[in-house]
């Protein structure tokens, strides 16, 4: 067995502090510098898992301009690559997506400004539960979790209704523009994914009510952590929704689980990282599995990530698409997307995957 980290051997193990008392891990990290982290943030006890870094360069890359090409063969090739990426990986990078570098930078800068606002100024956005349109908070599920995670977040419902914090000035405007452009990219990807399953291009959009679908705009900030070998930014989880499109500030930290190994995601410049999420697994009847991922930490740089979760319409009944289960057994229950949240909250509190609750034996 590996020798335990020295912090465990010390008689002065740092105190357990509850994330709700800490409020903002950024403010806490700013105030505490290099002091040992509270022991309530120890989520890695056996040392970090091995990382299969030789596989990092195998994460698929989809050229969006080929997917939207008028040339039938180029489009067909892109669709087949997309299907392969969803089936074999559940994560891929999208290049040439058409969202300008300038807009992406503006969103990132404003997002940073938001997290840099004094704690008092952000109090009005404090987390009031899963259905609140704007929620600012820390960790993962502070009220239910046994250990905490080194991250602050802002989560905003940006579709079908657009909500957004009114500060810092200009954030709302660039976020609106970005949110709509991301939805358009997600919509085109969903059409390609539909085709890759042998369905009509609009089939998944219509079945999931995508054009009135939920979008959650998340801004994560992971401050430098003095003991990154002991804590995590986010625990292993899958995302709700159909497709998550994520952009980060150039500091690595996202890892995905592929064939039971953790792999660092090293994004190409200006690309979008796309994750297959739970509802895509369900509608594809398990052909495209939602990807397990987590966020690790470093002790030097602030990491920021901006994932936008694009899901079905809340009132839609979501289960395997009927065309796919004409010749095979449905592997998942059908439930209203709105009710899925209830199941998800309970499953997460019990530390289970929500899909386990929806799987039919
Ligand atoms: O920070 C990251 O790269 C991952 C964020 C994430 O998985 C999430 O917010 O659900
Ligand atoms: Fe996630």
Q: Which residue has the higher pLDDT, 9 or 115?
A: 115
7 belongs to a structural domain: no
Q: Which residues have a Cβ under 8 Å from the Cβ of 187 and sit 6 or more positions away?
A: 205, 210, 211
With 70 as the cut, is the pLDDT of residue 277 above it?
yes
Instruction: Report the atom number in ligand 1 closest to the C-alpha of 244.
Output: 10
Q: Which residues have a Cβ under 8 Å from the Cβ of 240 and sit 6 or more positions away?
A: 277, 278, 279, 309, 311, 340, 341, 344, 354
10 belongs to a structural domain: no
1 belongs to a structural domain: no
What are the tens digits of pLDDT across the range 25-44?
999 999 999 999 999 999 98
Measured in Å, how far apart are the chain's first and last C-alpha atoms?
A: 37
Q: Which ligand has the shortest distance to the CA of 254? A: 1
Whether residue 307 has its Cβ less than 6 Å from ligand 1 = yes
Whether residue 293 has its Cβ less than 6 Å from ligand 1 = yes
Contact (CB, 8 A) for 79 and 55: no
Contact (CB, 8 A) for 274 and 64: no
Instruction: Report the atom number in ligand 1 closest to the C-alpha of 305.
Output: 1
Question: In angstroms, rounded to a whole number, what is the distance separating the alpha carbons of residues 84 and 283?
Answer: 17
Query: What's the gap between Cα 236 and its chain centre?
Result: 11
What are the tens digits of pLDDT across the range 82-121?
999 999 999 999 999 999 999 999 999 999 999 999 999 9
Q: How many CB atoms lie within 10 A of CB 191?
A: 22
Total number of domains in the chain: 1
Instruction: Report the atom number in ligand 1 closest to the C-alpha of 303.
Output: 1
What was the pLDDT predicted at 275? 98
Distance 237 CA to ligand 2 centre (A): 6
Distance 267 CA to ligand 2 centre (A): 16
141 belongs to a structural domain: yes
349 belongs to a structural domain: yes
With 90 as the cut, is the pLDDT of residue 13 above it?
no
Which of 307, 309, 311 for a ligand 1 pocket mutation test, highest count of atoms within 8 Å of Cβ?
Answer: 307
What was the pLDDT predicted at 361? 73
**Encoding tokens for residue 208?**
């999931």
| ipTM score | 0.99
What are the tens digits of pLDDT across the range 183-241?
999 999 999 999 999 999 999 999 999 999 999 999 999 999 999 999 999 999 999 99
> Which H/E stretch holds residue 188?
helix 171-196
Whether residue 139 has its Cβ less than 6 Å from ligand 1 = no
Q: Which ligand has the shortest distance to the CA of 278? A: 2
Question: In angstroms, rounded to a whole number, what is the distance separating the alpha carbons of residues 63 and 95?
Answer: 5
What are the tens digits of pLDDT across the range 300-327?
999 999 999 999 999 999 999 999 999 9
DSSP string, 17-49: --HHHH--HHHHHHHHTTSPPPGGG---SS-PP
Q: Are strands 293-295 and 254-258 parallel, antiparallel or unpaired?
A: antiparallel
**Cis previous bond, 192, omega within 30:** no
Whether residue 255 has its Cβ less than 6 Å from ligand 1 = no
CATH number for the domain spanning 192: value is: 2.60.120.330
Contact (CB, 8 A) for 137 and 126: yes
Residue environment code for 305-323, b if the CB has 16+ CB neighbours within 10 A, otherwise e? bbbbbbbbbbebebbbbee
In this structure, the residue with its CA closest to atom 10 of ligand 1 is: 239
For 277, the domain range is 19-358
Q: Please give the biggest Cα pair distance in the chain.
A: 68
In sequence order, which ranges of 13-167 are alpha helices (DSSP H)? 19-22, 25-32, 64-67, 72-88, 101-116, 119-122
346 belongs to a structural domain: yes
Contact (CB, 8 A) for 256 and 292: yes
207 belongs to a structural domain: yes
112 belongs to a structural domain: yes
What are the tens digits of pLDDT across the range 230-273?
999 999 999 999 999 999 999 999 999 999 999 999 999 999 99
Instruction: Report the atom number in ligand 1 closest to the C-alpha of 293.
Output: 7
Answer yes or no: pTM beyond 0.80.
Answer: yes
Mean pLDDT of the chain: 93
Contact (CB, 8 A) for 280 and 87: no
Question: In angstroms, rounded to a whole number, what is the distance separating the alpha carbons of residues 288 and 277?
Answer: 9
Distance 295 CA to ligand 2 centre (A): 8
Contact (CB, 8 A) for 107 and 158: no
Instruction: Report the atom number in ligand 1 closest to the C-alpha of 233.
Output: 1
What was the pLDDT predicted at 45? 64
Which of 136, 153, 234, 243 for a ligand 1 pocket mutation test, highest count of atoms within 8 Å of Cβ?
Answer: 234
What was the pLDDT predicted at 53? 86
């Amino acid at each position: 067995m590996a020798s335990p980290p020295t912090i465990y051997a010390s008689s002065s193990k740092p105190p357990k502090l509850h994330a709700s008392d800490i409020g903002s891990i950024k403010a806490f990290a700013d105030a505490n510098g290099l002091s040992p982290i509270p022991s309530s943030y120890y989520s890695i006890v056996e040392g970090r898992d091995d990382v299969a870094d030789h596989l990092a360069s195998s994460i698929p890359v989809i050229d969006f301009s080929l997917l939207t090409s008028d040339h039938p063969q180029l489009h067909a090739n892109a669709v087949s690559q997309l299907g392969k990426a969803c089936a074999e990986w559940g994560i891929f990078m999208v290049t040439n997506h058409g969202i300008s570098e300038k807009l992406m930078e503006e969103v990132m800068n404003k997002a940073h400004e938001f997290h840099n606002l004094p704690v008092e100024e952000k109090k009005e956005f404090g987390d009031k539960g899963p259905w609140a349109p704007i929620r600012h908070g820390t960790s993962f599920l502070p009220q239910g979790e046994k250990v905490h995670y080194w991250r602050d977040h802002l989560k905003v419902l940006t579709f079908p209704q657009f909500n957004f914090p009114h500060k810092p000035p200009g954030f709302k405007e660039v976020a609106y523009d970005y949110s709509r452009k991301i939805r358009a990219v997600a919509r085109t990807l969903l059409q390609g994914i539909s085709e890759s399953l042998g369905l009509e291009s609009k089939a998944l959009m219509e079945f999931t009510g995508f054009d009135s679908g939920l979008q959650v705009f998340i801004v994560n900030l992971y401050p430098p952590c003095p003991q990154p070998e002991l804590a995590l930014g986010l625990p292993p989880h899958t995302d709700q929704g159909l497709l998550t499109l994520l952009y980060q500030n150039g500091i690595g930290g996202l890892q995905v689980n592929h064939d039971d190994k953790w792999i660092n995601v090293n994004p190409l410049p200006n690309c979008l990282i796309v994750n297959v999420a739970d509802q895509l697994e369900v509608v594809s009847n398990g052909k495209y599995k939602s990807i397990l991922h987590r966020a690790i930490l470093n002790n030097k740089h602030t990491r920021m990530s901006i994932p936008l979760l694009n899901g079905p319409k809340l009132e839609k009944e979501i289960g395997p698409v009927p065309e796919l289960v004409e010749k095979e057994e449905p592997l998942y229950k059908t439930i209203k997307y709105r009710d899925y949240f209830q199941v998800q909250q309970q499953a997460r509190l019990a530390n289970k995957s929500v899909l386990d609750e929806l799987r039919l034996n």
